[in-house]
Structure 1
């Protein structure tokens, strides 16, 4: 981003922080789709890209960015992929060496591969066909980054001898949740990209199999088959305003907590991050702990990184005046961060989230002592390092608030899909049929995050007492029962 800012300055642009992030995304999209600066304007126009500046201006920025990068002597991530592919393509001895070392490939989430990644995969493979891909075209929600499901859908045509395994059994969700997901996909204007010829399968949580239909008509929608017992029907709620919608969600969350559903097994999912404020306010007012999730990783959060650093220092120290037992040692170290185990902050928000993150580390120490009463601080630090390397994160107690994009790959016992109105889902700048269908797939991803409890809601006005001019998302047409709740 700093280099994009330098490039913008060279062409006399002064973007805001938000514009700078958007401009950086455009450069990344161009590189991921193998476009040169000269090719960008036509391609961006054809793809109906939404950007803060005209395509010609972004092409100039792209050129200036490449110049600034060369002068600084640095590479970005897309360069690493492109140069790796180029080295294999242009130097036979490199290709021979790599192909002798790596003979078999498995690509997960294949519906999210972009042209640059596919080029690298092709370079690795050469003329071989020892390749397995796994994916679900119904979960293609990252086309704005250059991802394309066409590689997944065209796979059997490219490799006609490849067996295609259709994975349709869903072990995650109840039949009621799965049924809603099936009806949502069945209503797509194209019959669902997952039903296109040659789609491969996709796995669900904990080995659950969900996937796209192979060798089927392009108009045949994917139908998952639920494997779990029956559960409650999805709830649909119409509210007069956003604050009332948020209050209704908080009230329903309290009911779930009272029914012994853990807070960590409840999520509120929305289309854009700006929607979180109303839910933070309502959930905090109800005295319920919550955690706002973006793309940050647990061990990268500042308080967690600082805690691990202090634990590492304590493990190296020669101090023998320590409390007895691993858990007590960890609590003593965290006291330096102001953490008090029996005194969580009131309400919610950043302070409560910080407390919960450290509490999660203390619970890990408790769990280690149960399995190994003689566990030491050294071993605990090593375990945390291993968890960080493999992203084996601990459970943090609190209701999760996250965008639909950030929720992909996750699952909860109870999921609330909120703000389901025209202009938000589908988002207002989704104009082309392809963009609209991607918004539908985003809702499909949200629905399939729920194991048992699923609630969908929308508000007819932004503010209390405001004009009720909004209408529910078009994706709900034909799905909402007559017994919809009003709140």
Structure 2
């Protein structure tokens, strides 16, 4: 692509960042500022101008998803993915590649990488009460690795920094030491060891260090505010004394201090790299002025000078609602989502998310959404839902399943159990090969539920998991004392990070933002978070009238046409052993259920000629049968 074409559609600040001189540059890129576009266009621009050799470009990201997205965008911009192209990867992936090459060059075997760290840390803990809490132990190990803290220094450092742990620091240190010893005994490495090994090799072998630096002469780093000291050491080892670095970050989105990150590493880059130019992207293209004003009001509690500007026109005010308890709040979240859905829009559930501070809050909200016929996309089904499915799974034949449905619909007061009963009814109406019993229903439920979770519905996830994402409508739930900021935040650094985390959550919304809280939660007094006290001109209320839920699709029997098409698609995908989207996309499936095509030509207008020829006979037959059943029902 022509270099000048890469600048099309960019504002002045973005153009400046893409075209700046090939010297050390730190770019402060706020939420919704288009930073990924700027970063990828900067790489492509340098290559197009001939100031960067693609084989010598190293682009570092923090997640595999981000690395994949960067590769995709670079390919779209004409930067190929062959062996002559740029290197894009996470710190761990880059360290792994370097270490493998290093050991191959020195004719040494590569240690194995630990695949089950939970098992290893449990073995290190042995009879300690924490042995069953491997996740919490690994959080501490990862934090220590990130901060380059040895087992011998862990207890003292954790105490000094106010590190909260479920067991005494000295006991954690003992388990940590045993974990490290087990790795040595088994000649295994974890991911952080990869980085440490490469850093050590470059520190002790100058020829090796120079070879790595010769290979990677142009360095780009994304989300640099999340760097931890160990990652920073790798960055510095590869950089050497060179100034050809382009580093992107947003200090206001530094939310991983609990995991070892240190935003000061980003803040101090201009002091550590001589001649660094600092640029900024102040324009926010995601949020409405009302949403951005609310978010920056919170952000100013830690950065009074924050400068971000909403480009979108004025829109709906931020809605803030308090509720008596967690159950009432969950129903309030439902009302908020229906309020957004009733404003129009084609896929309101897919455009919406509920964000919470902790995973503990997820289950109650997911249950409330399911009870109110709101599609949910989550990989964390609730305990009540799992229990109901397990109960149905006990049925040994079709008749027992049908009896279970009757019992649930007539005797159960649980909306979740009644919803599962409806799913069993749908299952029983389908033409299943082989035996039909509780186990086959469970398999069908898992398959269809997994597909729905992967592609449709409201997402319910934590503030941390939402970073880097956006939705038209966001409900920030649990914005209350004890959760926002979280009660575990004791030190000033921890409290500041909680404020930044709230800012991240609030800036995920592009069109409509709801904020909810409880007056009491699990018997303790809560109330609206003090972080929200200064937000100007929100709509502060409770729903005054019952919101009208959008009707569900008209059913041809007790099964919607869309359900039938989806079931057919799932069966076909299993037969040909391909993903369901290789057969037909969800949006096309919904359009078929809406338009009811009668000919292959009409179907082709929705899915294209080739796809219509492949799926036409099956799909048109399903549509025709559905219309016939509907006509029969109307005559009765």
Normalised TM-score (structure 1): 0.71
Task: Say which of 452, 462, 465 aligns to 2:511.
Answer: 452
Written as runs of structure 1 = structure 2, the 5 A alignment for 1:316-465 is 354-355=447-448, 357-358=450-451, 396-462=455-521
By how many angstroms is 1:486 displaced?
2.7
Aligned to 1:153: 267
Runs of 4+ residues over 6 Å off in structure 1: 338-343, 349-353
Aligned to 2:332: 248
Classify the secondary structure of the residue corresponding to 2:498: helix
Written as runs of structure 1 = structure 2, the 5 A alignment for 1:115-264 is 115-186=229-300, 188=301, 191-192=302-303, 220-261=304-345, 262=347, 263-264=349-350
Does the alignment pair 1:14 with 2:129? Answer: yes
Task: Say which of 364, 368, 389 aligns to 1:278.
Answer: 364
Q: Which runs of 5+ in 2 are unaligned?
A: 1-117, 381-426, 433-441, 544-636
**8 Å Cα contact 1:422-1:473 kept in structure 2:** yes
How many Å separate the matches in 2 of 1:243 and 1:472? 16
Higher relative contact order (CA 8 A, sep 6+): 1
Greater Cα radius of gyration, structure 1 or 2: 2
How many Å separate the matches in 2 of 1:221 and 1:6? 49
How many Å separate the matches in 1 of 2:258 and 2:216? 31
Does the alignment pair 1:40 with 2:154? Answer: yes
How many Å separate the matches in 2 of 1:42 and 1:228? 50
How many Å separate the matches in 2 of 1:354 and 1:443? 35
RMSD after superposition: 2.6
By how many angstroms is 1:25 displaced?
0.9
The alpha-carbon distance between structure 1 residues 71 and 436, as it changes in their structure 2 partners (threshold 3 A), is same
By how many angstroms is 1:236 displaced?
0.5
Does the alignment pair 1:265 with 2:351? Answer: yes
By how many angstroms is 1:91 displaced?
1.0
How many Å separate the matches in 1 of 2:151 and 2:120? 16
How many Å separate the matches in 2 of 1:430 and 1:341? 52
How many Å separate the matches in 2 of 1:339 and 1:398? 24
By how many angstroms is 1:231 displaced?
1.4
By how many angstroms is 1:473 displaced?
1.1
By how many angstroms is 1:2 displaced?
1.3
Classify the secondary structure of the residue corresponding to 2:510: strand
By how many angstroms is 1:290 displaced?
0.4
How many Å separate the matches in 2 of 1:122 and 1:223? 30
The alpha-carbon distance between structure 1 residues 417 and 61, as it changes in their structure 2 partners (threshold 3 A), is same
Does the alignment pair 1:287 with 2:373? Answer: yes
How many Å separate the matches in 2 of 1:340 and 1:130? 64
Deviations 1:39-94 (A, max 9, x none): 11121011111112111111111111111111111000010000011111111221
The alpha-carbon distance between structure 1 residues 482 and 412, as it changes in their structure 2 partners (threshold 3 A), is closer
Deviations 1:322-365 (A, max 9, x none): xxxxxxxxxxxxxxxx999999xxxxx998785365369xxxxx
Aligned to 2:531: 475
The alpha-carbon distance between structure 1 residues 84 and 482, as it changes in their structure 2 partners (threshold 3 A), is closer
**8 Å Cα contact 1:271-1:425 kept in structure 2:** yes
Does the alignment pair 1:111 with 2:228? Answer: no
Deviations 1:246-281 (A, max 9, x none): 112112212322333421110000000110122112
Structure showing the higher helix proportion among its residues: 2
Aligned to 1:390: none
How many Å separate the matches in 1 of 2:157 and 2:535? 36
By how many angstroms is 1:406 displaced?
0.4
**8 Å Cα contact 2:294-2:536 kept in structure 1:** no
Q: Which runs of 5+ in 1 are unaligned?
A: 193-219, 295-337, 344-348, 361-394
**8 Å Cα contact 2:130-2:167 kept in structure 1:** no
**8 Å Cα contact 1:239-1:458 kept in structure 2:** yes
Aligned to 1:315: none
How many Å separate the matches in 1 of 2:481 and 2:122? 34
The alpha-carbon distance between structure 1 residues 4 and 35, as it changes in their structure 2 partners (threshold 3 A), is same
The alpha-carbon distance between structure 1 residues 287 and 149, as it changes in their structure 2 partners (threshold 3 A), is same
**8 Å Cα contact 1:140-1:441 kept in structure 2:** yes
